[in-house]
Structure 1
């Protein structure tokens, strides 16, 4: 620091001497030019004696140490620029052949060859396997434009009979002409939506499947007379399985009467008990039911029960032991649907929900919409209670923005609370279809714990032949047979109640999956070209998310990068010093000639 201070003093004194000396001198070179030359000479001398640097961010030259990786979807303009400025490789065989760029054939060997080299990834991005191996590696991502067409599609892979199929999607339409997406069932249009031009627009399509078994629906995108995209929607429609239902009412009511009649039409086994007074009950049983509701309720009461429907007040009136028996049955997989009438919950399972009565009168009744975006007809309700859900609860029914039915997982079973208890009015108004859809939706989300069908989640969302597919199942740890071949299950690394298997499908189309002592189900393997835009968009999102999380894991390195500086070359200062000294020499030469 002392040396720097002394040099600064010396430079100031020298500059003052140059200014005064050039002021007294007479030359054809202007005075301002001579002073500037003197200042440049002093500055160049400073740069020669002391290293001067500038931030790396000021540099616009390409990073020669960075390796460009071109993936599928990389624009040709980006390839041309990157190839000229830096080294490049690609994971796409088409890019490799067209631009004569080295193709990465072994990802692990490639990373061993470039263990610390920063990567610049272009295109739709890398695969999950490749990203996992890049954890902690310096990487930048240059995302292309969104792919055209269906960039998102979600629908249930399995559906019980009489349940509507609801498909949620998103379509990217960059053209100046509006597009139309159409849902096809047996090659016939059943629903459609309009996509505005130059927009990425969400849509919802619905239909009611009429055929059991494996169904292959389609979603079509058209613009005028042109077909833009055609994708498959495989869905397995399961036949309705008769349930064993127990109903506990605080008092006889029309809601339970119509529910009992509807269950009997579906050939469900029903057992009904209504409290008449303290310690006195009325009972009714269907022919398919073998359950006894004699007091007190015990473990044998709910041993074969799939669904319990009860008033919260009746459940609270049960003894502590009976409530514990019911809770244990729910924990083992039985579904529980609670009617909450006055916003008060005091039973063992009812206390899981917070309900509050609304003082506003609903003279014109209320309308409801399900979480699946299904609207139901108006019901006359004089006073309405709503449910304040917590993060562990899932809303099922809404009135405007208020939740009137919600579900929560309890062990292996589900508990659903609902504040609407006069749905029978739809039946009286000859709206039996709405009544059936309403209760089918509630039953599907409540009585799911004891189903024998193997329910699964597949990864990736669109599996293809000869590529790894992971299936996560909530099923006991027993071997699963796929197309007759047994596969062992492994404990899921994150979810203790789930098991996982991995395999490589050999063909496209439907594949059977069988569980010992259980029913079989099916899953579908797509062609490589199916849902390509959605797969590309998902890869882009995964790539962007990975880069963001990866940068958070390396904060110190990011700060160091922001502090990186490049040193100004010495030859530049030497050149400036020669130019400035030449100007001063020429000016002094002119002065000497004038004096002589």
Structure 2
């Protein structure tokens, strides 16, 4: 801006100088013409430095379009510009004026005036929807079809554990739909859906083999096969919890628990007191064959100790001291109490109280934190636990009174239970509830497993050609461990904040099981074909688009916009007059 004022001052001074010089010339025959030529030359010289501009209007670019994600039956009824992200849709309808968009992000940046997008067909992926934030959207899905809308299953199993597939199915009516679960050429489970609308379903099976396997789920409607998809699972042998159970008397609770632990293949030592110094001992699923006293060496081999208050009181002082030391070193301790005068085991903090609110009533109870409510137990419960600041309630009756409480003690955990007859679940045919309760108690109380290499993969169900991110957590830092996928050595990136965490980015190169080797850990993950679960992915994409569009509705009428543009006059308009003026001044001086 300062230079512009200097240019104006210079031109004014030059004009004054030329005006004085022309008026003092001896030859004044063409004085008027010379003065005009001088002023014209100075003016054009200034405009060559700072050409004048003007404002003009330009119509804005495309502001409303149609975006096809699948074929549309009545394409001729669509107005506005129509584009497609699907190359096949573009090839089918290019004669109708449909244009292909190979890259949505580039297209949006090339059309900054775009306000409204009408989406037709099966919807867009999550990544594509994120690019449309800030736009006004409408979604016109195609007609609803029969098929899955959600599906999940527990792919990592232990021997004799149950495979459970759960999901939702959209049934449009008409003939009944049938879902089948097949494994190794055998029909494992099936369900028939007859009601119209969104239906939930569960398919179950207990795989008999070990290692990796790929089951299949098939959807049928009449004679038509709607879909078929792989269900990869892996059955791994786990390190079972080693249990030591000490009973003051062999009641039904201990008998049923012993049988259940034996059937579930837990290594178990069960000692039942007959008299003061006489015992009956069972060694089940274990190599240990002798038990004379509760020693530190024995407790070090165990992960969980289960006993009742009477047995704890009858143990010697040395044995109780050994249990306390083992608990401090990580052993899990589960104590059954039946009296309000109980000492409540090793750890302090728990207290008991009696209440007759459930007198002559069955016990309805469930896991805390909105967990599952199990079937009623046919006995009255009068004894309950009070929870302290360091306690974690695990199981409570529906009114909130605590039945099972847990607390940390050193590196171990002590759990106290006032339930006296959980075997009633077994007698009443609720074996699943019995297993669920004791599985939770064992897993929550037992000695924690040693830290090992852990890993996660994103996305959880990768497809061929898709980028996958593998996050590896190691038990400790140190040197970079060896990473291999599909037999190829890979170079991971260490997390800047967590020295024990590594990130590995790679491609899902081949379908089926892909190996993953992390130091001494050999594991695998499954990669799906592009055609696998295509119907399910399209249904989830449709639902995700509906939800996203609800937060980005069309709330304004599209107004045609015009853009004001500042333009500069061409320099030729000033250069030619400047050249003519200077030429005239020279010619008049020399020739005239």
TM-score, structure 1 normalization: 0.60
Q: Is 2:500 the partner of 1:507?
A: no
CA distance in 1, matches of 2:351, 2:171: 43
CA distance in 1, matches of 2:84, 2:323: 66
Deviations 1:311-331 (A, max 9, x none): 6999999999987974773xx
Deviations 1:216-247 (A, max 9, x none): 22222223333332222111112343432345
Q: CA RMSD in A?
A: 6.0
Question: After superposition, where does 1:9-408 map in structure 2 within 5 Å?
Answer: 65-71=63-69, 73=70, 75-77=72-74, 79-82=75-78, 84-85=79-80, 87-100=81-94, 101-115=98-112, 117-120=114-117, 122=119, 123-134=121-132, 136-142=133-139, 144=141, 145-247=143-245, 254-256=252-254, 259-260=257-258, 263=261, 268-270=266-268, 288=287, 305-307=302-304, 309=306, 326=327, 329=330, 359-360=357-358, 380-383=378-381
**Do 2:332 and 2:413's aligned partners in 1 also have CA atoms closer than 8 Å?**
yes
SS class of match (1:465): coil
Q: What is the CA-CA distance between 1:128 and the residue it aligns to?
A: 3.3
SS class of match (2:229): strand
Per mean C-alpha deviation after superposition, the further-off stretch among 247-256 and 158-167 is 247-256
Per mean C-alpha deviation after superposition, the further-off stretch among 471-480 and 286-295 is 286-295
> What residue number does 2:542 align with?
540
Q: What is the CA-CA distance between 1:510 and the residue it aligns to?
A: 1.6
Q: What is the CA-CA distance between 1:202 and the residue it aligns to?
A: 0.6
Q: What is the CA-CA distance between 1:335 and the residue it aligns to?
A: 6.7
Q: What is the CA-CA distance between 1:161 and the residue it aligns to?
A: 1.0
Q: Compared with structure 1, are the counterparts of its residues 325 and 437 closer, same or farther at alpha carbon in structure 2 (3 Å cutoff)?
A: closer
Structure 1 or 2: larger helix share?
1
Q: Is 2:524 the partner of 1:522?
A: yes
**Do 1:323 and 1:347's aligned partners in 2 also have CA atoms closer than 8 Å?**
no
Q: Compared with structure 1, are the counterparts of its residues 540 and 512 closer, same or farther at alpha carbon in structure 2 (3 Å cutoff)?
A: same
**Do 1:507 and 1:525's aligned partners in 2 also have CA atoms closer than 8 Å?**
yes
SS class of match (1:94): helix
Aligned pair count reads 482
SS class of match (1:98): helix
Deviations 1:492-545 (A, max 9, x none): 899999865443211111223334334x33322222122122212222343344
CA distance in 2, matches of 1:124, 1:458: 27
> What residue number does 2:39 align with?
none
SS class of match (1:522): strand
**Do 2:350 and 2:386's aligned partners in 1 also have CA atoms closer than 8 Å?**
no
Q: What is the CA-CA distance between 1:158 and the residue it aligns to?
A: 0.6
Q: Compared with structure 1, are the counterparts of its residues 387 and 472 closer, same or farther at alpha carbon in structure 2 (3 Å cutoff)?
A: farther
Q: Compared with structure 1, are the counterparts of its residues 364 and 325 closer, same or farther at alpha carbon in structure 2 (3 Å cutoff)?
A: closer
Structure index of larger Rg: 2
Per mean C-alpha deviation after superposition, the further-off stretch among 193-202 and 419-428 is 419-428
Deviations 1:157-202 (A, max 9, x none): 1111111111101111113222122222333323222212431111
> What residue number does 2:22 align with?
none
Q: Is 2:468 the partner of 1:465?
A: no
**Do 1:163 and 1:440's aligned partners in 2 also have CA atoms closer than 8 Å?**
no
Q: Compared with structure 1, are the counterparts of its residues 141 and 459 closer, same or farther at alpha carbon in structure 2 (3 Å cutoff)?
A: farther
SS class of match (1:464): coil
Q: Compared with structure 1, are the counterparts of its residues 351 and 264 closer, same or farther at alpha carbon in structure 2 (3 Å cutoff)?
A: same
TM-score, structure 2 normalization: 0.60
Q: Compared with structure 1, are the counterparts of its residues 64 and 486 closer, same or farther at alpha carbon in structure 2 (3 Å cutoff)?
A: same
Q: What is the CA-CA distance between 1:152 and the residue it aligns to?
A: 1.2
Which segments of 5 or more consecutive residues in structure 1 lack a partner in the other structure?
Answer: 1-62, 552-557, 568-596
Q: Compared with structure 1, are the counterparts of its residues 133 and 403 closer, same or farther at alpha carbon in structure 2 (3 Å cutoff)?
A: farther
Q: Compared with structure 1, are the counterparts of its residues 429 and 408 closer, same or farther at alpha carbon in structure 2 (3 Å cutoff)?
A: same
Q: Compared with structure 1, are the counterparts of its residues 529 and 312 closer, same or farther at alpha carbon in structure 2 (3 Å cutoff)?
A: farther
